[in-house]
Amino acid sequence: MNVILMGPPGAGKGTQAEFIKTAFPIPHISTGDMFRVAVAEGTPMGIKAKEFMDAGKLVPDEVTIGVVKERLAKDDCAQGFLLDGFPRTVPQAEALDEVLGAMGRQVDAVVDIQVPASILLERMTGRVTCKACKTVYHLKFSPPAQAGVCDHCQGELVQRSDDNEIAVVENRLKVYEEQTAILADYYKNQGCLVAVDGNRDTKEVFADIKAALEKI
């Protein structure tokens, strides 16, 4: 089951990926998470990615495609994967088709989580993540029981550096409209696009996604 989660920043891709993982045994591959790990570790790739992430821009295709190719070649992807935040450009989508084609595989479903732009800004600026287990909370929509502390592992909750500056958040939304939204047509033409209304309770959103993935 080769699945892509698509949608603007703040749409709820990471949140839904957590639900999907409990129902379908496929690895969750978030390019944003991979880049954040590389930044924290200070690897050469992380140092390069950081300048783009801090500005709310896309990391160049050649870097991103290389990272994903390497990840998809790992054993745990043999039965499928859940890509989150990739592809984000047409060249990335084409590269993915090429890699999968060489393995005799294809994209089975692209879940496009749709949320009005007016909601996204508040979703991103209120997002906090557990430093240890990476659980995502929202200060208003899904707050932790105790401020600043993860409900699951008591880890520290932190705000992403690219979520705390309005200009960067706005740029990420603009970049999505300019470079990524077009991929909905790309996958519609391939007959695998599933549009889901993401402006509802997380459990309702997941119910629709689960029903769509069960049909694959």
Which segments of the chain does DSSP mark as H helices, in order?
Answer: 13-23, 31-41, 44-54, 61-72, 90-102, 117-125, 166-175, 183-189, 202-214
Residue 200 bears catalytic tag: no
Q: Which of residues 117-136 bind ligand ADP (CB under 6 A)?
A: 123, 126-127, 136
b/e 147-178 (16+ beta carbons within 10 angstroms → b) = eeebbeeebebeebebbeeeebbeebbebbee
88 binds, among ligand ADP, ligand AMP, none (CB under 5 to 8 A by kind): ligand AMP
Stretch that binds ligand ADP, among 3-11, 39-47, 62-70, 183-191 (CB under 6 A): 3-11
Which residue in the set 7, 8, 9, 12 belongs to the binding site for ligand AMP (CB under 6 A)? 9
Residue 36 bears catalytic tag: no
Distance of alpha carbon 98 from alpha carbon 70, whole angstroms: 14
Name the catalytic one among 36, 50, 123, 172.
172
Q: DSSP string spanning 187-210?
A: HHHTT-EEEEE-SS-HHHHHHHHH
CB 109 within 8 A of CB 212: yes
CB 55 within 8 A of CB 168: yes
CB 17 within 8 A of CB 29: no
50 binds, among ligand ADP, ligand AMP, none (CB under 5 to 8 A by kind): none
Which residue in the set 45, 52, 143, 192 belongs to the binding site for ligand AMP (CB under 6 A)? 52
Q: Does 85 bind ligand AMP (CB under 6 A)?
A: yes
Residue 160 bears catalytic tag: yes
2 binds, among ligand AMP, ligand ADP, none (CB under 5 to 8 A by kind): none
Q: Does 83 bind ligand ADP (CB under 6 A)?
A: no
Residues with active-site annotation: 13, 88, 127, 160, 172
Q: Report the interface residues with ligand ADP, using CB under 6 A.
A: 7, 9-15, 123, 126-127, 136-138, 141-142, 198, 202, 205
